[in-house]
Amino acid sequence: MTKKTRNRGFHHVVYACRNSEETRHFYEDLLGMPLVHTEVKNAPDGFFRHLFFDTGDGSCVAFFEVSGVGENPDWSSEVSTGNGLPVWVNHLAFASDEERTETVREQLAAEKIVPLMEVDHGWCHSLYYMDPNGIMVEFCRDTGEFGVDPETALARLDSTDDTDYSTFIQPLDIEGLRGFNLFPEPKGT
Ligand SMILES: [Fe+2]
């Protein structure tokens, strides 16, 4: 019989990056997540670099910069738009509070990086940005009851009824979208 154990959160999550230094600047200098570990491995026709940034509790957001390790020539680090999805679908959400969110806003504004969007989800406030790799990052602070309710959650898995009452609390800054369309028309329509 399989022994049940409780999972222990994330150790790291990993994405591909376009450029190690550009990625380090964004996560370490601007967002204050220290680069704590880097591995470099040579391959017969290339190499990879594997970077780890501490997100604040010892868990890491990590990246691979790859060259000649089997990637397609037209590979994309854009986990949503590069995969035919709206930019907000695949994303990274960091836990935040008001002070942290406002510090992030100031730090990024100093480099003229503006939010992609800002949303009141009812149970949380979310400030969203695009990282240098085209990956959306969210700073999410609890503002109400998340609503842990496994029974309802399970029942909704085959529902299409609206339960999302999100409100944009900041008009989208078109400059900040950097060419990304939040709600693109599907191709062929
Ligand atoms: Fe999210």
Residue 4 located in a structural domain: no
For the chain, the average pLDDT equals: 90
- Asked if pLDDT for residue 131 goes beyond 60, the answer is yes
For ligand 1, the distance from its centroid to the CA atom of residue 136, given in whole angstroms, is 9
For ligand 1, the distance from its centroid to the CA atom of residue 25, given in whole angstroms, is 23
Q: How many domains does the chain have?
A: 2
Exposure b/e, 159-179, CB count within 10 A at least 16 = b: eeeeeeeeeeeeeeeeebbee
* Beta strands at 12-16 and 60-67: parallel, antiparallel or unpaired: parallel
For ligand 1, the distance from its centroid to the CA atom of residue 121, given in whole angstroms, is 10
Decide which of 27, 45, 69 is a domain's last residue. Answer: 69
Q: What is the spatial distance between Cα 98 and Cα 145, in angstroms, rounded to a whole number?
A: 16
Tens digit of pLDDT for each residue in 35-93? 999 999 999 999 999 999 999 999 999 999 999 999 999 999 999 989 988 888 999 99
Q: Is the dihedral of CA 53, 55, 58, 63 positive or negative?
A: negative
For ligand 1, the distance from its centroid to the CA atom of residue 155, given in whole angstroms, is 21
Residue 36: give the domain boundaries. 10-69
Residue 111 located in a structural domain: yes
Residue 125 located in a structural domain: yes
pLDDT for res 167 = 85
Residue 26 located in a structural domain: yes
CA nearest 129: which of 142, 143, 112? 112
Q: Is the dihedral of CA 169, 175, 176, 177 positive or negative?
A: positive
Whether 62 and 89 share a structural domain: no
Residues 87, 79: contact at Cβ < 8 Å? no
The residues facing 128 across adjacent strands are 117, 138
For ligand 1, the distance from its centroid to the CA atom of residue 90, given in whole angstroms, is 9
The residues facing 168 across adjacent strands are 119
For ligand 1, the distance from its centroid to the CA atom of residue 94, given in whole angstroms, is 9
Helix, strand counts (H, E) of the chain: 3, 9
- Asked if pLDDT for residue 188 goes beyond 90, the answer is no
CATH of the domain at 29: 3.10.180.10
pLDDT for res 2 = 75
- Asked if pLDDT for residue 173 goes beyond 70, the answer is no
Stronger pLDDT, 18 or 2, i.e. the higher one: 18
For ligand 1, the distance from its centroid to the CA atom of residue 41, given in whole angstroms, is 33
Residue 80 located in a structural domain: no
Residue 55 located in a structural domain: yes
CATH of the domain at 156: 3.30.720.110
Strand blocks (E) in the chain: 12-16, 35-43, 46-54, 60-67, 91-95, 117-120, 124-130, 136-142, 167-170
Stronger pLDDT, 180 or 45, i.e. the higher one: 45
Chain center to CA of 129:
8
